[in-house]
Structure 1
Amino acid sequence: MNGCFITGFPGFLASMLLKEMLKLYKECEFVLLVHPSQIEKAKDLAANRPNVRLFTGDITMAGLRLSPEQTDWLKNHITHVFHLAAVYDLAVPEQIAANINITGTRNINAFVKELPHLARYVYFSTAYVSGKRTGLIKEDELDAGQTFKNHYESTKFAAEKLVAELDGVPYTIIRPGVVVGHSKTGETIKFDGPYFIMRFLDKLRYVPVPYLGKSEALFNVVPFDYIIDATLCLAESDDAVNKVFHLTDPSPYESRKLYRMICEELIGKAPSWTIPPAVVEFMLSFSFFRRFFKVEKEALEYFRCACQYDAANTSKVLVKAGVQCPDFKDYVSSMVAYYKENRKDPEKLVYIK
């Protein structure tokens, strides 16, 4: 890699991706597209890096709000583009999601088409473009007439279609599952997704703990270090050109079992009874209960998602580089330990309405 353009900085995955790439590609020049509202934070994180440039811009605007001089420089130097900027909030309003996820991707697509030295365009989608589909979901499937659980899913689906329709652009589409902390250190930036389980259990440590229904649905979580390692492998593999990859757990646990493992690790006991999911959903329809348990209602859907994500393409490419997804049971202790140490950090808490 000679020149890399990364969106989404100083977001967590973009920051972790840059950190790893700085170790591997010491001669590479990095350009980070940073929204004006995030520029001071970005400066702090990228300080003292002579091969890192910060360009203030906006993916929702034509030309990315870059100057002609910046655009010319990028055309002469950029070989790889990593598009991570998106809105990931499950409760995001439709117009905001569409503006960032769809319009933003359309503008990045237009930008990459103007790069004469482009070797790869890596687009971060999500496994949940599958929406409400059930059963086996394959990597070469996208539009199966599915409906969606929220505007995040529907706009990421529409955005991925735009990337897949690009002609003459060497793209690679990444579809992660639910991303959690580092498999060794537990480090993460936000306590959402499975961390809502921990926030819920924090309120129940002195009473008999319930299972949340009897669902046998699989819950697909992946640590971010696997996402980073896999992404960098795919970004340079000729076998990944114009293909889609599920960065998901090939052997995910049932939601009920994953819930029990977290419960035992966090509060030292297993659930002993079952509460119907309809009751939980009803309770979380009231803001008082959502704020008390610190859980988003929208998160419940992902614990009863009755589908399995096939990752055959991913396995074929990553096995050559020795990259594989860790087993949840091997890193749940690190994940919980990090949560316990940082659960009162306001920067990591997701505000619940």
Structure 2
Amino acid sequence: MYTLLTGATGLVGRYLVRDLLLNGHELAVVVRPSRKQSPRDRMEEILQHWERELGRALPRPVVLSGDIAEPGFGLSPEETEWVADNCSSIIHSAAILEFYGKDRAGEPWRTNLNGTQNMINLCRESGIKDIHYVSTAYVAGLQTEPVMESSLSAGQLFRNDYEESKFCAETLVQQIDFADHVTVYRPAVISGDSRTGYTNTYHGLYLYLRLMSVMIPPVPADENGYRHTPIRLRMTGDERRNIIPVEWVSAVMCRLFETPEARGLTFHIAPDKPISSREMIEYCGEYFKSTGVEFHGHGELPPLANRAENEDQWMFERMVMENAETYAPYEQTDNTFDMTNTKKFSGDIPCPEIDKTVIFRYIEYGNEDRWGKRKPDVERVKNWTEDALQNHVNTDASNGRRQMVGLDVYGPGGCQVTLELSPSGLHSVHRGLPDQDLPVLRVSNADLESAIRNQENAATVRQAWEGADSELAASLTTMLLSALELQTIAVRS
């Protein structure tokens, strides 16, 4: 059975896609079309990124076109029926990181709260009873005492609408009464990959790093190569920052998702050793070879005595104020999170520290990526395997016995489908692999295309069948290739 995943194009979501596919899970994803790309194209771009990094082809999830903010996720009747028939669990990772909204009809309430209610309704109507919800550690709001995993409502105040919308959404999730298990994941502040620097979003920490990459390099260096960039900050330097790298978040979540004993619990996902604001500033100062930061403690900064004599400082402070004001409520406070449950089931997966090397890596990746403006490297798929198969369906009556099989074509343009074959051709194509015990062909699109072009190359396909002896594998391969021999599948331009 399939796991339905929302938020697959987000930072955490795309890591969950990678890790769950690598671990052999069957995935279906709900993806919105963008202004320039279809849902299938958006997922293909993400999967090709992972394939380049991993050096191997990956299976393709079933892609459903929808919007979690719409009732029923905006799925078509056919897709809704498919979810009910094929999905036994859900990971609801979709959310929007928007701190303030005009009213509850807009964001972040529309996605974070209404989207969660839509998820609950869809699960109830589809019979999905294994529910995994990605919340945030900051449903805790403003609390001075350690926040327990078992606690949700403590009369807390919230820094912004984002925190409150996620709190209200988790409240809905915790009240679900039809599921066998409701598991909640509460990550802290998620940053990019600590090993590669990769990110697809430039919020939070990256906003500050980008500001420094813009502000500091134009300043002339002194005779020692250092740039003096005077700026006063409303901090002491000792403030904790609960920042965690995305690859660790995904690794922990996958472990918990795959552990039956972890079902039904709530998990804080936070660092063992939070970074301090002073460490972050010092690492950045070392990278950019800059000096001049002063920690002035909490409270308003006094006006500069003479702006004309401190024009650079006035400009730096204004830029920080204008660009980072959204995060001002986090400058002075961060919570301490209990991680008893998380340590019990995934304590052997250490959280990488956000140290100097990682900060340097984040800055370098941001510069290489032009802070999100670099054009993605993706090979356009000209023909999709599933489309090609649909074009070869023969609805005529068959003289021979029909055989249902699964086809898992991985790599660009691939798909997961169930086929109905006979000696006279291909009779039906259905999304998703079969749940029952049927033969399944797992093959790369390159090997399948090679065999279609020249059946002398069919040995690779014959050997790739699961659940079929050599005689049946040979027969199924002949039927499949005969049905497709005139078609080139997944040709890339």
Q: Indicate the larger mover: 93-102 or 291-300.
A: 291-300
Q: Indicate the larger mover: 40-49 or 325-334.
A: 40-49
**Post-superposition offset of 1:179:** 0.7
In structure 1, C-alpha distance between the alignment counterparts of 2:36 and 2:28, rounded to whole Å:
13
Task: Say whether the 8 Å CA contact 2:232–2:295 is kept in structure 1.
Answer: yes
Task: Say whether the 8 Å CA contact 1:219–1:304 is kept in structure 2.
Answer: no
1:230 aligns with 2:240: no
In structure 2, C-alpha distance between the alignment counterparts of 1:5 and 1:315, rounded to whole Å:
26
In structure 1, C-alpha distance between the alignment counterparts of 2:342 and 2:77, rounded to whole Å:
38
Task: Say whether the 8 Å CA contact 1:222–1:248 is kept in structure 2.
Answer: yes
**Post-superposition offset of 1:140:** 1.0
Task: Say whether the 8 Å CA contact 1:93–1:151 is kept in structure 2.
Answer: no
Distance 1:238 1:272, change over 3 A: same
Structure 2 unmatched ranges of 5 or more? 48-57, 218-226, 305-315, 376-493
Trace 1:195-210 onto structure 2 (pairs within 5 A): 195-202=206-213, 203-204=215-216, 206-210=227-231
Q: Give the AA of the match of 1:84.
A: S
In structure 1, C-alpha distance between the alignment counterparts of 2:79 and 2:208, rounded to whole Å:
45
Distance 1:226 1:260, change over 3 A: same
| Structure showing greater Rg | 2
Instruction: State the structure with bigger RCO (CA 8 A, min sep 6), 1 or 2.
Output: 1
Match of 1:34 among 7, 31, 43: 31
1:44 aligns with 2:66: no
Trace 1:90-239 onto structure 2 (pairs within 5 A): 90-95=99-104, 96=106, 97-116=108-127, 118=129, 120-169=130-179, 170-202=181-213, 203-204=215-216, 206-210=227-231, 212=233, 213-239=235-261
Distance 1:101 1:260, change over 3 A: same
In structure 2, C-alpha distance between the alignment counterparts of 1:52 and 1:222, rounded to whole Å:
27
What secondary structure does 1:172 align onto? strand
Identity of aligned residues (%): 27
RMSD (CA atoms): 3.0
**Post-superposition offset of 1:8:** 1.6
**Post-superposition offset of 1:123:** 0.8
In structure 2, C-alpha distance between the alignment counterparts of 1:209 and 1:309, rounded to whole Å:
35
**Post-superposition offset of 1:105:** 0.3
What secondary structure does 2:323 align onto? coil
Task: Say whether the 8 Å CA contact 1:210–1:271 is kept in structure 2.
Answer: yes
In structure 2, C-alpha distance between the alignment counterparts of 1:98 and 1:161, rounded to whole Å:
14
Task: Say whether the 8 Å CA contact 1:59–1:108 is kept in structure 2.
Answer: yes
Aligned residues: 339
Structure 1 unmatched ranges of 5 or more? 349-353
What secondary structure does 2:30 align onto? strand
Trace 1:249-288 onto structure 2 (pairs within 5 A): 249-264=271-286, 266-269=287-290, 272-275=293-296, 278-279=299-300
Partner of 1:10: 9
Distance 1:294 1:9, change over 3 A: farther
Q: Indicate the larger mover: 306-315 or 325-334.
A: 325-334
Q: Indicate the larger mover: 219-228 or 87-96.
A: 87-96
In structure 1, C-alpha distance between the alignment counterparts of 2:158 and 2:241, rounded to whole Å:
17
What secondary structure does 1:138 align onto? coil
Distance 1:270 1:92, change over 3 A: farther
Q: Indicate the larger mover: 184-193 or 60-69.
A: 60-69
What secondary structure does 1:55 align onto? strand
Distance 1:94 1:88, change over 3 A: farther
Q: Indicate the larger mover: 150-159 or 74-83.
A: 74-83
